[in-house]
Chain A
């Protein structure tokens, strides 16, 4: 099925903020199934803004969110941001796109690294973008996403 989604905003807003979409980050289906079998409940996650960032090698979220949603820590990763390299926690998570007809990702490793922006809490990095085709139309303010997974 051709999953083509258009993010539409004004050319000025697209230039100012970049392509932003709502994401829901939560636990993987395997964790949810395991939790259900032992009667455990995870905190309910809420949608927040994510920036599609071709400059990010991996997907990043604010550390507070990883803690709040009790995501599963799977090891440290080295990240270079703003010219500085440090180790940050990596978590396993599922990512979905609640207000878009866009296929989610059941298991993604995301890195908890502080983000300065007040308008978004996640960078969608090239680990996710490797499955998408992106068309950025600055003149119309539209960004088109096509999921290439079969």
Chain B
């Protein structure tokens, strides 16, 4: 399973920012999708689709960005 779980996540910086702000964002943006590139927070969106569109518009093809749904408990998706 190591090939699917890289130790060096290219979005590690963005994830750290998310973790640091998660509690604060949970109050106002619960279940919305935040878009983060580097230290820049693009905004909050109602769904993954609109978050992705906004990310591409703001950061283009070359800059990576994280799309993360703001949840109190991280979702686990089950595949039976």
Task: Point out residues on A near B: beta carbons under 8 Å.
Answer: 28, 30-31, 34-35, 38, 40, 53, 55-58, 60, 63, 73-81, 84-90, 92, 106-107, 109, 111-114, 123, 125
Residues on A with beta carbons closer than 8 Å to the beta carbon of B15 = 75-76
Q: Which B residues from 55 to 80 make CB contacts under 8 A with A?
A: 55-57, 60-61, 64-68, 74-80
Question: How far, in whole Å, are A87 and B7 apart by their CA atoms in the complex?
Answer: 11
Residues on A with beta carbons closer than 8 Å to the beta carbon of B55 = 74
Question: How far, in whole Å, are A125 and B78 apart by their CA atoms in the complex?
Answer: 10
Residues on B with beta carbons closer than 8 Å to the beta carbon of A28 = 52, 56
Question: How far, in whole Å, are A75 and B36 apart by their CA atoms in the complex?
Answer: 11
**Majority secondary structure, B binding face:** mixed
Residues on B with beta carbons closer than 8 Å to the beta carbon of A78 = 74-77
Residues on A with beta carbons closer than 8 Å to the beta carbon of B48 = 92, 107, 109
Query: Could you tell me the distance in whole angstroms from the C-beta of B75 to the nearest C-beta in chain A?
Result: 7
> Could you pull out 16 A-B pairs where Cβ atoms are within 8 angstroms?
A30-B53, A30-B56, A31-B56, A31-B61, A58-B79, A63-B4, A73-B10, A73-B11, A76-B11, A78-B74, A79-B79, A80-B76, A86-B4, A86-B5, A88-B4, A112-B4
Picked from B52, B67, B75, B79, the residue with its CB within 8 Å of the CB of A60 is: B79
Residues on B with beta carbons closer than 8 Å to the beta carbon of A112 = 4
Q: Quick check: is B24 within 8 A (CB to CB) of the other chain?
A: no
Residues on A with beta carbons closer than 8 Å to the beta carbon of B20 = none
Q: Quick check: is B9 within 8 A (CB to CB) of the other chain?
A: yes
A40 closest partner in B (C-beta): B61
Question: How far, in whole Å, are A40 and B77 apart by their CA atoms in the complex?
Answer: 34
Residues on B with beta carbons closer than 8 Å to the beta carbon of A89 = 4, 6
Question: How far, in whole Å, are A112 and B79 apart by their CA atoms in the complex?
Answer: 12
